[in-house]
Chains A and B, each alone.
Chain A
Amino acid sequence: MAAASVIEARELSLTFETADGPVYALSKVNLTVHDGDFVSFIGPSGCGKTTLLRVIADLEQASEGHISVNGMKPDEARRKRAYGYVFQAPALYPWRTIERNVALPLEIMGFSAAERAERISRNLDLVNLTGFEKKFPWQLSGGMQQRVSIARALAVDPKLLLMDEPFGALDEIVRDKLNQQLLELWGRTKKTVVFVTHSIPEAVFLSTHIVVMSPRPGRIIDVIETKFPKDRTLDIRETPEFLKVAHRVREGLRQGHSYDD
């Protein structure tokens, strides 16, 4: 592996202290993400996928273990604005128009007005939302809103993109289309993407590495590397290689899932 490591987690654990006792959300997680990787986290609900992503983004602090992002502590990386984050829900500001929602991070990071306008139009075009600049979020469908939130994350052009089930609430067709667009974007811009999903086909189609997680306590039980061509299309989902990888992911999930509780 020649590429430098972007995320490096060693023996990472996180325990939430709640009123009803501790919740072990992450336990001894080891993970390396290299520059240019597309890594998916997959696992049953509540296994700690979001939590792991939040630790990387310094939205949550690990209780034990070590983690570095771009060779820095997560909070330094956050201060350096090293990543873009796409949440599970669009989280658009209802009082801002679409273009001003995309402008939000640019305003905060102090981009000039001209630069802002250029980046807004480029990124809205990227997610196929040109023409909706002056609309308010509620005038858009759920899928369009989620695309705005992706445009917003891309607007600052981060090297690292953290995405938490960005397409979870969308229908199959829109999802396929966005998957393909995301893949193209990743191929073109050579970004590093960490992606959380519930869908096995989505994970296999998009990723270079699939991280299979299991709950209680949340840990990594398998990391599967895929070797599909970078310019793959949705058709590869019918190929035997694809189905083989999907099968391995499914087996991993099944093992991690204890049905007796």
Chain B
Amino acid sequence: MIAGLRRNPFAVIALIAVSAALLWLMAHQAAAKPGGIFWLGVLILWALIWIGNDALSGLATTSSVAVRLRNLAVPAIFGITLLLLWQLIAKGFGIPLVLLPAPSDIWARLITSLPTLKADFIQTFLRAVLPGWIIGSLAGFLVAILCDAWGFLKRGLLPLGNLFAALPIVGVAPIMVMWFGFDWQSKVAVVVIMTFFPMLVNAVTGLQAAGALERDLMRSYGASYLDTLLKLRLPAAMPFVFNALKINSTLALIGAIVAEFFGTPIVGMGFRISTEVGRLGLDMVWAEIAVAAIAGSAFYGVIALVERAVTFWHPSYRAQKGS
């Protein structure tokens, strides 16, 4: 059956669309505490979507647009199905809100609490995460250049940097809260410390990444240290720098949110999560997590886009053209 489907994209798409639509309709009926036949139907529809998705993922195409569409559609269908099942199970089995709110509850909460969510987002993301990420990464980068210029510093600092990069640095949060107060300043400090070491270690590695041949070439031109740095070694280091920036984007969000567990003014994503958990307002917690997820992915996505523009020459991008 799957082999047959593989040759007929329209049948596959129709199968998925109809099954998903039926599942969507059933999700609206779920609150009525339905019986066994209902759940059997859900299982069958789920299986049908899975079969359709499996066929879709194995669809033989040569056009690159179709490949790209397929690579987007398959995970999207998987995610949507999961959301629908979540909705069905949460509503159908009447799972209490304090355990697992249904996606519809979370959505309703998200819509009605937009002002609160916005204030939290500004406090945590714009005031703490972004400045901390910029300062920490920049500092790490500058120290890496210093290390690179002065070998003694590199040999002294790099082992320590490697050590620190693996330490549970979030633990400094209570100290920073004590030093810099409850507001965003202490969160920035935590984020700076957390993002400094990954950037240091990666940038130092990156600055050594330029090949010996290319370096000899620069030497044969009689290029100065600065010329070599700007024209060869910094460009060669960019993939490593962006790798650190991506790692740091996640670390920064974690650092800011966890630091808020140790004390905040009454606003912020981490604060909201911990207080709403205390009041068993799980729908609000999930709404906050959804915002954090969207912000985190968007942050990461923007960095990835800039990376693509800056390091287009890197083999990892050239290789992607074919697949």
Contacts and interface: CB of A to CB of B under 8 A. Distances in A.
Chain A complexes with chain B? yes
Interface of A: 17, 19
A19 B320 CA distance: 12
A8 B62 CA distance: 33
B65 to A, nearest CB: 13
B318 interface: no
Contacts of A19: 64, 321-322
Nearest to A17: B62
4 contacts: A17-B62, A19-B64, A19-B321, A19-B322
Contacts of B322: 19
A19 B64 CA distance: 9
Nearest to B321: A19
Q: Which 4 A-B pairs have the closest CB atoms?
A: A19-B322, A17-B62, A19-B321, A19-B64
Interface residues of B, number: 4
A17 to B, nearest CB: 7
B6 to A, nearest CB: 16
A17 B63 CA distance: 12
Contacts of B321: 19
Contacts of A17: 62
Interface string B47-79: 000000000000000101000000000000000
Nearest to B64: A19
Interface in B306-323: 321-322
Interface in B107-133: none
B68 to A, nearest CB: 13
A17 B62 CA distance: 9
B36 to A, nearest CB: 44
A99 to B, nearest CB: 38
A19 B62 CA distance: 8
Nearest to B322: A19
A19 B322 CA distance: 6
Interface in B86-126: none
A182 B321 CA distance: 44
A19 B67 CA distance: 12
Contacts of B62: 17
B88 to A, nearest CB: 42
Nearest to B323: A19
B318 to A, nearest CB: 12
A52 to B, nearest CB: 25
A46 B254 CA distance: 53
A19 to B, nearest CB: 5
A17 B64 CA distance: 14
A22 to B, nearest CB: 11
Interface in B181-195: none
A19 B321 CA distance: 9
A19 B318 CA distance: 13
A99 B321 CA distance: 42
Nearest to A18: B322
B38 to A, nearest CB: 46
A128 B322 CA distance: 45
Interface in B141-163: none
Contacts of B64: 19
Interface in B269-323: 321-322
B58 to A, nearest CB: 16
B256 to A, nearest CB: 44
A91 to B, nearest CB: 23
A30 B322 CA distance: 33
A19 B61 CA distance: 11
Nearest to A20: B322
B215 to A, nearest CB: 29
B111 to A, nearest CB: 46
Nearest to B62: A17
A181 B322 CA distance: 44
B21 to A, nearest CB: 36
A31 B70 CA distance: 42
A17 B321 CA distance: 15
A235 B195 CA distance: 72
A19 B319 CA distance: 12
B7 to A, nearest CB: 16
Nearest to A19: B322
A172 B236 CA distance: 42
